[in-house]
Amino acid sequence: MKKNIFSTDYTVGVLGGGQLGKMMALAAGNWHLNIHLLDKSKDFPAGPVAPELIEGDFNNYDDVLNFGRKADVLTIEIEHVNTDALKQLEKEGIQVHPNATALETIKDKGLQKQFYFDQNLPTSPCSFHTGPEAIRESIKKGEIEYPFVQKTRTAGYDGKGVAVIKSEEHLDRLLPAPSIVEPLVDIDKEIAIVAARNPSGQVEVFPAVEMLFHPVANLVEFLQCPAAVSEAKIQEAEEIAKKTIEAFDICGLLAVEFFLTNDGEWLINESAPRPHNSGHHTIDSCYTSQFEQHLRGILDLPLGSTKMKSPSVMVNLLGEDGFTGNAVYEGMDKVLAIPGAKVHLYGKAQTKPFRKMGHATLLDDSVEGAIEKARRVRDTLKIKA
Ligand code: ADP
């Protein structure tokens, strides 16, 4: 007999107990789901808010196998997990979402690109290389032209596996790992769309989010929703996001990051099969949060409405440069006095320069108003040690 999801004998297992696991556990708490997470320490962000955080390593075959065997459905909050164990669990009849094959493809930027080529999904062309020597050879042969972007195939996170090479003088920046090389795209905007799907085949997308870059540092500073792109253009990207989640046969969430080129073309940059930074605003600004939607997707429940309740801007709260140690949050009282400021602190004990310690979503009747509030948060809230 099929178990009732809303009972104590049904267990949702999650690999990872960081901030995404914490927010997933908080969403699960609304329905009192029996959610268990696997990560190295009970002190990680999800620990205090979940019924169970099992200590173990999501990269270790046996740890994942033993943890997964106790779950009715198994999901992730980070893609760098042991996919061999997930394959074994699938064989044993455990429901694994996202499926292990899609996860294996997405974990490797080379396989991910090849997948888009094979599926006729739009992405920039690329070549495959074993490392810097092979890239230098290809330059000599005229197969690679400047400017280009090198991306390591695995373990790139938050820009650390990416090198922009504009000329010969930059060649010492080449990263020592198997990589892909793409031409530098002439980017107008960077947009993300979080798609959701359930095993019954229902697909929904959240409103597109636009990344706003700091004019000097050239880092993403704010994420605004709705994006400042025409509705017709956004619909094109939504269709691509839907096709992508279907092509991967993923249930739960798939966040698709796009470049909108200066020629008005959509290119998929990369995808993440889990809740995503660009979906954090949904907790406060949409009918359904991305975390609840992920649970609905993996549990084959009806997907929730993704309708926007209010324009919003999300700002990541990063550890202040120059401070490492026990985190202290300065300026919270001033930030909480801003109307429509919703602050989410992840509960990481230790702060480090630029570590993601939380986020704030600023709600306002207009995006411009929300941006102004986000600037105030950026200038007021300081995370020190
Ligand atoms: P990560 O997985 O580390 O987030 P991304 O592949 O998303 O790495 O690249 C990080 C950033 O680098 C992108 O958001 C974009 O601004 C820039 N970038 C990546 N690829 C290209 C490209 N082909 N052309 C121009 N800019 C790029």
Count CA atoms within 13 Å of residue 316 on its CB side: 21
Give the mutation target among 162, 164, 219 for probing the ligand 1 site: most ligand atoms within 8 A of CB.
162
Q: Residue 19 above 90 pLDDT?
A: yes
In whole angstroms, what is the distance from residue 296 CA to residue 316 CA?
26
CATH topology of domain 187-384: D-amino Acid Aminotransferase; Chain A, domain 1 (3.30.470)
Q: pTM higher than 0.85, yes or no? A: yes
Mean pLDDT of 292-299: 98
SS (H, E, C) the chain: CCCCCCCCCCEEEEECCCHHHHHHHHHHHHCCCEEEEEECCCCCCCHHHCCEEEECCCCCHHHHHHHHHCCCEEEECCCCCCHHHHHHHHHCCCEECCCHHHHHHHHCHHHHHHHHHHCCCCCCCCEEECCHHHHHHHHHCCCCCCCEEEEECCCCCCCCCEEEECCHHHHHHCCCCCEEEEECCCEEEEEEEEEEECCCCCEEECCCEEEEECCCCCCEEEEEECCCCCHHHHHHHHHHHHHHHHHHCCCEEEEEEEEEECCCCEEEEEEECCCCHHHCCHHHHECCCHHHHHHHHHCCCCCCCCCECCCEEEEEEEECCCCCEECEEECHHHHHCCCCEEEEECCCCEECCCCEEEEEEEECCCHHHHHHHHHHHHHHCEEEC
* Residue-level pLDDT at 285: 98
Mean pLDDT of 150-174: 87
Given a cut of 80, whether residue 157 has pLDDT beyond it is no
| Distance of alpha carbon 341 from alpha carbon 149, whole angstroms | 37
Sequence-ordered list of residues with C-beta below 8 angstroms from that of 340, at least 6 positions apart, any chain: 310, 362, 363, 364, 370, 373
* Least-confidence region, from 106-120, 209-223, 277-291: 209-223
Above 90 in pLDDT, residue 158?
Answer: no
Paired tokens of 18? 């960081």
- pLDDT at residue number 219: 82
For CATH 3.40.50.20, the residue range(s) in the chain are 11-96
Average per-residue pLDDT for the chain: 96
259 Cβ neighbours under 8 A, 6+ residues apart: 124, 185, 187, 189, 190, 266, 267, 269
The answer to which of 118-132, 156-170, 190-204, 237-251 has the lowest mean pLDDT is 156-170
Contacts of residue 104, Cβ cutoff 8 Å, sequence gap at least 6: 83, 111
pLDDT digits (tens, 9 = 90+) for 176-206: 999 999 999 999 999 999 999 999 999 999 9
Q: Which atom of ligand 1 is nearest to the CA of 183?
A: 23
State which of 80, 149, 210 you would mutate to test the pocket of ligand 1, scoring each by most atoms of that ligand within 8 A of its C-beta: 149
| pLDDT tens-digit series, residues 303-349 | 999 999 999 999 999 999 999 999 999 999 999 999 999 999 999 99
For ligand 1, atom 10, which residue shows the shortest CA distance?
159
Residue extent(s) of CATH 3.30.1490.20 domains in the chain: 125-183
**From the CA atom positions of the chain, what is the Rg in Å?**
21
Q: What is the pLDDT of residue 312?
A: 98
Ligand 1 lined by 270 (C-beta under 6 Å) = yes
Domain ranges in the chain with CATH number 3.30.470.20 = 187-384
- Binned at pLDDT 50, 70 and 90, residue 231 comes out as very high
- Residues sharing a CB contact under 8 Å with residue 189, sequence separation 6 or more, in sequence order: 210, 211, 227, 228, 229, 259, 260
Task: Please report, as a single letter, which amino acid is at residue 254.
Answer: L
56 vs 11: CA distance, rounded Å: 17
Question: Is residue 358 scored above 60 in pLDDT?
Answer: yes
Q: pLDDT tier at 159 (50, 70, 90 boundaries)?
A: low
Ligand 1, residue 213: give the atom nearest the CA. Answer: 16
Q: Dihedral angle at the C-alpha atoms of 163, 257, 268, 170, nearest 10 degrees?
A: -10
pLDDT tens profile 95-141: 999 999 999 999 999 999 999 999 999 999 999 999 999 999 999 99
> Tokens standing for 252?
């739960």
- In testing the pocket of ligand 1, which one of 190, 220, 259 has its CB within 8 Å of the most ligand atoms? 259
Looking at residue 28, what is its pLDDT? 98
CATH number for the domain whose boundaries are 11-96: 3.40.50.20
Q: Is the CB of 168 under 6 A from ligand 1?
A: no
Cross-strand partners of 317: 358
Identify the CA nearest to 69 among candidates 2, 25, 13, 3. Answer: 13
Cα–Cα dist 179/135, whole Å:
9
Tokens (6 digits) for 21:
């696991």
Confidence of residue 259 (pLDDT cuts 50, 70, 90): very high
CATH no., domain 125-183? 3.30.1490.20
First to last CA, the chain: 53
